[in-house]
Amino acid sequence: MMNRMENLYRQIIMEHYKNPRNKGLVDDERYNKSHIRNPSCGDDVTIQTLVEGGEVKDIRHEGSGCSICCSSASVLSALLKRRPVEEAQYISTQYVNMVSGQSYDTDVELEDAEAYQGVKQFPARIKCATIAWQAFEDTLGGDDDE
Amino acid sequence: MDLDFDIRADFPVLDDETLVYLDTAATSLTPHRVLHKMNDYYRKYSANVHRGVYRLSHEATELYNDARRTVARLINAEEDEVVFTRGASNALNMVARMLAPYIQEGDEIITSELEHHSHFLPWQRIAKERGAKLIFVPLDQNGRIQLQAFKNVLSPRTRVVALTHVSNVMGYLTPIEKITELAHAHGAYVSVDAAQSVPHMEVDVKRIDCDFLAFSAHKMLGPTGFGILYGKRKHLDAFEPVEFGGDMVGIAEKDTLTYQKPPLKFETGTPPIAEAIGFAEAIDYLEEKGLETIREHEKRLAEYAHKALSGLEDVVIYNKDADAGIITFNLKGVHPHDVVTVLDDDNIALRAGHHCAQLVMQWLSVAATLRASFYLYNTRDDIDRLIESLKRARDFFKDAGL
């Protein structure tokens, strides 16, 4: 009965939801910040990124929302920290393509983010799973929207 | 036993017998009869109205005008007080635009935190443009608009009172007749958002005596993209149109124009003809079933649902004393979007979010809620299914450690 649900809400996702990594913003102007709010459901995510010498040195996140949205911010921060900017960007694109059911580079090691594969069967939840990643990509653009 | 009529068969969407549809406050289902009526327009007499002198156009115009008579009868208005619009949001925006020139700096506009965005944002905008003040009626501890609280904010500077008749989140009925009487005694205009009331109860604009009232067809078995603005004839005569073009114009010259009489004065371009005709059919259908009978039916369902939900551990209900068939609630510790995904898996359609009423969410201090809303096609079985699915959601997320 719950197979579809278990496929969406994998243990690893719920684990990140309960124990988020890299949570909490820092007061440091070297960080780029992006805040995205989904006006239809109230999911609210802020991502902070520290980029130095072409590398993503640190990622912080804060926000409120459903388990898919909040957990994916945590997963993102753990996965993309300490990666060259281009690589982080590339991985992020593969993730977004994966959850939206588009073709993506399956050779990329998505680690915990693999758990979001089930999302593509729930079109209404794709936005939840990608909002943090959009915010992250915005921070790489170098614009501080706050 | 529980229901006075079984009418699921009238609604093609409910051919899927496993579907439980509990989101009428967002949009209602459409019966076969209404669909056929709209199809007939396109299949048999698909001509423009108010233009052609040939038979088809005449036939279309007749039915289109009949639709206006049907709407007028429904709310006890005069025919020329019924303006066809794109929906309640469009109608409420028109009211704000019509009244804007009469608002002076320092004037006060009374509204409430219960308003749908479509009734609060247009006035927020007008207040900014005109230097007026937006005043919110303080809600009581349950989130209701009480007459006394309204009296307290009413002042000689009050120019407009813009309030909802029934809240789309809390399901509370505003004491709008008394409010209107008081507002008029202070020389203020009254605009009523009736999108959640007209579909579910008998609404008489003469008894309310409001200046403007708006509602949408799609929340009462009709098509989307169509709605009604009721305006008192004297206002529709006096106020300037907000849109210009075909249909609203009398004589057009290079520098001047004359207007058609209301309601055409406020209707521009080729109207949604099939929608108007379809909406009239929806009204006929509802009147045959009886709006008071429907209201009773919804009330019984809401009582039944309240009882069942209250018996469920971890459910928080935000509007236990609702007057309408709307229940707003949450499952403790689980985000409504997560809950609704489990319900959807059981083929139960329910709204999760802020319901286009972020001020209510702020008042409740929640980011989002679940909302179940009932109509004539809902049954106790629907509620039993909802309860079962909520239990499943609760157990599932408990197992996941939430």
Alpha-carbon span B326 to B373, nearest angstrom:
4
Q: What is the pLDDT of residue A38?
A: 83
A123 at B interface, C-beta within 8 A: no
Distance CA A32, CA A50 (A): 6
| Distance from C-alpha of A140 to C-alpha of A33, rounded to nearest angstrom | 9
Q: State yes or no: pLDDT of A33 exceeds 80.
A: yes
Partner-chain contact B337 A11, CB within 8 Å: no
Distance CA B298, CA B301 (A): 5
pLDDT of amino acid A142: 52
CB-based contact A11 B400, cutoff 8 Å: yes
pTM, rounded to two decimals: 0.93
- The number of folded domains in chain A is 1
* Residue position matching structure tokens 């079109």: A123
* Dihedral sign computed on CA atoms, order B266, B269, B275, B276: positive
Q: Which residue from B minimizes the CA distance to A3?
A: B345
Give the model's confidence band at B402: pLDDT under 50 very low, under 70 low, under 90 confident, else very high.
confident
The pLDDT mean for chain A works out to 93
Cβ pair B368:A42 closer than 8 A: yes
**Active-site option among B35, B153, B356, B367:** B356
- Sheet of B326-331: strand order equals B315-317, B326-331, B369-373, B351-353
Instruction: Please tell me the predicted confidence (pLDDT) of residue A40.
Output: 74
Query: Percent of chain A scored above 90 by pLDDT?
Result: 87
Give the integer Cα–Cα distance in Å for A35 and A23.
14
SS3 letters across chain A: CCHHHHHHCCHHHHHHHHCCCCECCCCCCCCEEEEEECCCCCCEEEEEEEEECCEEEEEEEEEECCHHHHHHHHHHHHHHCCEEHHHHHHHHHHHHHHHCCCCCCCCCCCHHHHHHHHHHHCHHHHHHHHHHHHHHHHHHCCCCCC
In the numeric block, which tokens belong to residue A68? 């898919």
Mean pLDDT of chain B: 95
Handedness of CA B72, B74, B77, B82 (dihedral sign): negative
Res B213 pLDDT > 90: yes
Give chain A positions within 8 Å (CB) of B335.
Answer: 65-67
Contacts with A68 from chain B: Cβ below 8 Å: 337-338
**Contact at CB, B341 and A40, closer than 8 angstroms:** no
Instruction: Give chain A positions within 8 Å (CB) of B342.
Output: 5
CATH architecture classification, B8-22+290-399 = Alpha-Beta Complex (3.90)
Q: Name B252's Cβ contacts closer than 8 Å, sequence gap at least 6.
A: none
Contacts of A109 by beta carbon, 8 Å cutoff, 6+ apart = none
Say whether residue B204 is in contact with chain A using an 8 A CB cutoff.
no
Look at B163 and A1; give whichever has higher pLDDT. B163
Structure-model confidence comparison of residues B349 and A142, the more confident one? B349
Give the mean model confidence (pLDDT) for residues B129-135: 98
Distance from CA of B144 to the nearest CA of A (A): 24
Q: What is the pLDDT of residue A2?
A: 52
The verdict on B117 touching A (C-beta cutoff 8 Å) is no
Rounded Cα–Cα distance for residues B214 and B223 (Å): 16
> Distance (Å) from the C-alpha of residue A128 to the closest C-alpha of chain B?
9
The predicted pLDDT at position A39 comes to: 76
Domain of residue A70, CATH code: 3.90.1010.10
Average pLDDT over residues B295-304: 96
B115 pLDDT more than 50: yes
What's the confidence (pLDDT) of residue B52? 75
Whether A52 is in a domain gets the answer yes
Are the Cβ atoms of B337 and A8 closer than 8 angstroms? no
Confidence check: pLDDT of A146 > 60? no
Report the run of H or E that residue B178 belongs to, with start and end: helix B176-185
Map residue B332 onto helix, strand or coil: coil
Buried b (16+ CB within 10 A) or exposed e, B186-206: eebbbbbbbbbbbbbbebebe
Question: Residue A146 domain-assigned?
Answer: no
Q: How many CB atoms lie within 10 A of CB B70?
A: 20
Would you tell me which residues 75-114 of chain A have a C-beta closer than 8 angstroms to some C-beta of chain B?
A: none
- Within-domain flag for A145: no
CA count, 13 A, side-chain hemisphere, B324: 30
pLDDT for B5 equals: 58
Q: What is the pLDDT of residue A145?
A: 44
Please report how many Cα atoms fall inside a 13 Å half-sphere around the Cα of residue B162, on the Cβ side: 30
Cα–Cα dist A64/A37, whole Å: 10
Domain span including residue A33: 3-140
Residue that has been written with the tokens 């249909």 in this structure = B247
**Cis? peptide before A84, omega within 30° of 0:** no
| pLDDT > 60? residue A31 | yes
Measure the CA–CA gap between B178 and B184, rounded to whole angstroms.
Answer: 10
Q: Are A12 and A68 in contact (CB under 8 A)?
A: no
Q: Give the tens place of pLDDT for each residue, B29-62.
A: 999 999 999 999 999 988 888 877 888 888 999 9
Query: Are A65 and B367 within 8 A, CB to CB?
Result: yes
Give the lowest-confidence range in A16-30, B210-224, B347-361: B347-361
Q: Which amino acid is at B185?
A: A
Q: Which of B 373-392 lie inside 8 A of A, CB atoms?
A: 392
Give residue limits of the domains in chain B: 8-22+290-399, 33-287
Q: Decide if B398 touches A, using CB distance below 8 A.
A: no
Q: Which tens digits make up the pLDDT trace of A37-76?
A: 987 777 899 999 999 999 999 999 999 999 999 999 999 9
- Determine the Cα angle at B309 with ends B305 and B310, to 5°: 115
The predicted model gives B275-298 an average pLDDT of 96
CB distance B367–A125 less than 8 Å?
Answer: no
Phi then psi dihedrals of residue A10, to 5 deg = -65, 155
Model confidence at B255, in pLDDT bands (50, 70, 90)? Answer: very high
Does residue A125 lie within any of the structural domains? Answer: yes
The ipTM, to two decimals, is: 0.88
State how far the Cα of B191 lies from the Cα of B170, in Å rounded to an integer.
20
CA separation for the pair B234, B5 (Å, rounded): 42
pLDDT digits 0-9 by tens, A81-96: 999 999 999 999 999 9
**In sequence order, what are the residues at sequence separation of 6 or more whose Cβ sits closer than 8 angstroms to the Cβ of residue A112?**
A12, A16, A75, A78, A79
Whether residue A1 is predicted with pLDDT greater than 70 in this model: the reply is no
Residue B210 is a catalytic residue: no
Chain A residues with beta carbon closer than 8 angstroms to that of B402: 14, 17-18, 67
Q: Is A38 on the interface with B (CB under 8 A)?
A: no
> Which residue reads 């099939």 in tokens?
B274
Indicate whether A58 belongs to any domain: yes
A95 domain-assigned: yes
Residue-wise over B371-384: b if at least 16 C-beta within 10 A, else e? bbbbbbbbbeebbe
Q: What is the pLDDT of residues B383-400, one digit of tens each?
A: 999 999 999 999 999 998
Residue whose C-alpha is closest to residue B323's, from B143, B88, B110: B143
Q: Which CATH entry fits the domain spanning B33-287: 3.40.640.10, 3.40.50.300, 3.40.50.2300, 3.90.79.10?
A: 3.40.640.10
> Tokens representing B327?
């229940």
